[in-house]
Structures are given as structure tokens and as C-alpha cells.
Amino acid sequence: MATTNTLGATLSTFRLRFGRISQNQPALLYPAVLAGAGVVAVGSFALARAAWTDYKIYLGYGPGGMPYNVFGWLLTNTLRALSIDMLDVRKFDTDPDQRTWLRDDRGPTAPRAGPRPTLGPHGIPQRQLDQFAPEEIQQTLLAAFASLVAHNPTLIETKPSKYERHHGAIWVADTLTVQTADLLGYPFSRETAHVHSTADSSVHVILSPKDAAKVVRAGWGQLHSLAGVSVSVFGRKVVPKSYVLLYAPRDEHEVKVVMDIVRAAVAYMAGVEWDEVNPA
């Protein structure tokens, strides 16, 4: 009986204390709930604002390889997780293909002046955010591209870019028996180079591994953020491992350097010697 009375007293005490806690709980919880809701609201606003800013940057590049809308923006942000170090070219030092077309007297014979331009955070499209080519230099570069094709009709031709979709590009001529799978390790198209003529006037080229390393180390460009990356979902590579962005030329001297690099890309992709590619 004593045990029963003791247990009853304990339960009564617990109910009394629990009741007091329950009565006071709203006063304790409301500030915490309001504070939590405020944090969530502020965080959501900040996240939405950051996303909107990022989307505007994406649209600011102009049309490129991805759909020029929110779906393209979402996809390119998904691919950002696969990005490589675009300045790390050490792997090319041990590549089995050590051929080079950019010898000491060709292409980037000296480092590019000044710092590298700032690039946008998205891999596709890959674009500069500063150090744009002046209008007259843009026209000089486009004229040089057209001249290079005109002077090499048996080697190259102009077609729409498969990578960019909104620009013309230099392709290895269909008449040449070149197998890109043998050259690049994957059956990419024969597209060799293109200018981002509606954007920053930077240039994409496919170089030999050794030439790609030389260009990047000299500060004239950098690898694509997805160069050599395989996307397992689609079972294919995005772009070749030596797919290089050349920074937009700022003067006529830089146009010449860029065109020497493009000439080396043509020789590499067409499987010919440097002297077999006529200059622009």
C-alpha cells in the first residue's frame, strides 16, 4: 500500500510539472518559431536572388551550345559539377601523341601580356567577362578566318558549328579521309575551330596535346571546363581533351598569334604538315 501511495504521489507531481511546462510552452516556442521562419525567409530570398543573378550572367553570354533559356541554364549548372582544372595541362606531358606544330617561331613565341581575362562561371557556353576585342579587331579576326578557308579549299571548309550551333566554324573538308576517332579517341565531328562572333570574339580550337599545353602555359588560353570529360548519362564525351579556348585578341599582333594557333589546329586535325596549310 505504501508503494502504491508513493507511485501515485510521483505521478501527481509529474502531471503538475508537465502541465506547467505545457502551459508555458507556447510562450517559449513562438519566438523560436518566428526566428526560424525569418531565417528560412531570408535564406530563400538570398538563394533566389543569387539564382537570378547567375541566370542573368548566363543570358549575358548570348546564344551558345545550350538552349538559351532556363532549361539550358539548369543543365549547364548541373554540368558544373564535372568541371576540370582548366589550367592544369600536366597530363599532356605524358600523352602518347607528342607531335607539335607550334614550334619556337610559331604561335605564342612569348607569354600573353597582362593577366588572363575573367571567365563566366558556366562551362557551356565558355565566355569571357572582360578584355573584349575592339570592334575593328573583331572584324580583322573574322576576315582572317574567312581568308584561311579561302586559301585552303582542299583542306578545310566552313559549316555551322556543332559545338556552338549559333556560329560558323572551320571543318576539315569532307574529301579528306580523316578519322577523328583515331585522332581524338572518340568519334567527334571534324569541326576544328570557331569564333564566338556574336559574343566576346574568343576562339575555340582543337589542338594536339603538346600544342594545347604550350598555349595554356603561355597564357593565351585555357582548356574547356569539360575537355575530355565523359558524361555517363549520355554515354559520350562532351568535347575533346585538347579543346582549348583562345582569349579574344586585343590588337593585330594578337590576331596573328591566334591565327597561327588556328593554323596549327587545322594541320593537326587534317593530318598534314605546317607548310601544307597556307596562311590566312
When comparing pLDDT for 244 and 72, which is higher? Answer: 244
- pTM, entire model: 0.81
Q: With b meaning 16 or more CB within 10 Å and e meaning fewer, what string describes 130-153?
A: ebbbeeebbebbeebbeebbeebe
Q: Strands (DSSP E) along 126-242, which ranges? A: 156-160, 168-172, 191-195, 203-206, 221-223, 230-231, 236-237
Report which of residues 219 and 62 the model is more confident about.
219
Q: Is 243 helix (H, G, I), strand (E, B) or coil?
A: strand
The predicted model gives 258-276 an average pLDDT of 97
* Confidence (pLDDT) at 10: 52
- Domain count of the fold of the chain: 2
Segment (H or E) for 76:
helix 70-79
Could you tell me what percent of the chain has a pLDDT over 90?
59
Do both 243 and 120 map to the same domain? yes
Looking at the fold, whether 44 and 89 belong to one and the same domain comes out as no
Structural domain contains residue 215? yes
Q: What is the dihedral of CA 228, 190, 183, 211, to 10 degrees?
A: -70
Residues 164 and 116 in one domain: yes
Residue 150 lies in domain: 85-276
On whether residue 78 sits in a domain, the answer given is no
Examine the domain organization and report whether 171 and 90 are in the same domain.
Answer: yes
Same domain, 22 and 90: no
Q: Is 178 exposed, middle or buried (0-12, 13-18, 19+ CB in 10 A)?
A: middle
Burial of 116 (0-12, 13-18, 19+ CB in 10 A): middle
The contacts of residue 201 (CB under 8 Å, 6+ apart) are 132, 133, 137, 138, 141, 195, 248, 249
Same domain, 94 and 193: yes
Using pLDDT thresholds of 50, 70 and 90, give the confidence band for residue 234. Answer: low
pLDDT tens track for 43-85: 776 788 788 888 888 877 877 777 777 887 888 888 888 999 9
Residues 143 and 262 in one domain: yes
Amino acid at 254: E
The DSSP secondary structure of 5-31, one letter per residue, reads HHHHHHHHHHHHHHHHHHHHHHHHHHH
Task: Measure the CA–CA gap between 31 and 154, rounded to whole angstroms.
Answer: 77
Q: 106 and 22, same structural domain?
A: no
Confidence check: pLDDT of 18 > 80 = no
For residue 97, tell me if it sits in a domain: yes
270, 176 contact by CB (below 8 A): yes
Q: Residue 108 falls within a domain, yes or no? A: yes
How many CB atoms lie under 10 A from the CB of residue 57? 15
Q: Has residue 235 got a pLDDT over 90?
A: no
pLDDT of residue 245: 98
Q: Is the pLDDT of residue 229 over 80?
A: yes
Q: Are residues 25 and 108 in the same domain?
A: no
The H or E element spanning position 244 is strand 243-246
Tell me the average pLDDT across 137-160.
98
Region 113-117: what's the mean pLDDT? 98
Give CA torsion, residues 65, 250, 129, 280, to 10 deg.
0
- pLDDT at residue 269 in the model: 97
> How many percent of the chain have pLDDT more than 70?
83
Q: Are residues 52 and 168 in the same domain?
A: no
Mapping DSSP to helix (H, G, I), strand (E, B) and coil, where does residue 192 land?
strand
Enumerate residues 6+ apart whose C-beta is below 8 A from 84: 223, 225, 226, 227, 228, 229
